[in-house]
Amino acid sequence: MARETRIWVGSGILLAGLALLAIRLTGSLAWQLAWPTLLVLAGLALLWRARRLPSGGLATWTLLGSVERQGAWTVLDESFYALVGDVSLDLTEALMPAGDNTIACYVLVGDIQVRAPDEVTVALDVSALVGEVHIDGRHEELLWRRVALLSPGAGEPAHRVVIKVVGLAADVHIVRAHEAP
């Protein structure tokens, strides 16, 4: 989605959500606020992304479901958005440019699983209200905090994947190629 399109769509979703929220605030139950609130958050996310990333950045969206990449694919700087769903990325056969490759995952509720070759360094930055992080035998619990981890032996690798995850409830699993899925 082009930057200008993101701005227009984000603004439209934001305004629709604010209008619905204003209507609902006139004496309704809390559960009726859920959809307008989600629309407001979705609009803000689109606007934030349009301002934060340069033009031409790739983005993949799913509202309910999962996003998968496997086989031969080219790893580019890309963002994955899942309202309720999983993101599963297999880097073992992927074509990876030298240097840093950034993958950003934004989930409301979901699991992120990345299968990485042993020779690729993984830098992980996760912020979530609740969840877990598993990478190279390490396990971290998330409870309203940020975790930043770097895979062992990370010096000056030819290929490095920077994985950024932001979510409400997110479990993150980094699995190495030699490990069972």
Q: Tell me: the pLDDT tens digits for 87-139?
A: 999 999 999 888 888 999 988 889 999 999 988 899 999 988 899 999 988 99
Instruction: State the first-to-last Cα distance of the chain, in angstroms, to the nearest integer.
Output: 32
What percent of the chain clears pLDDT 70, i.e. is strictly above it? 76
Strand 138-150 relative to strand 121-135, pairing: antiparallel
Question: Residue 28's pLDDT band (boundaries 50, 70, 90)?
Answer: low
- Give the per-residue pLDDT at 61: 81
User: Is the pLDDT reported for residue 36 higher than 60?
Assistant: yes
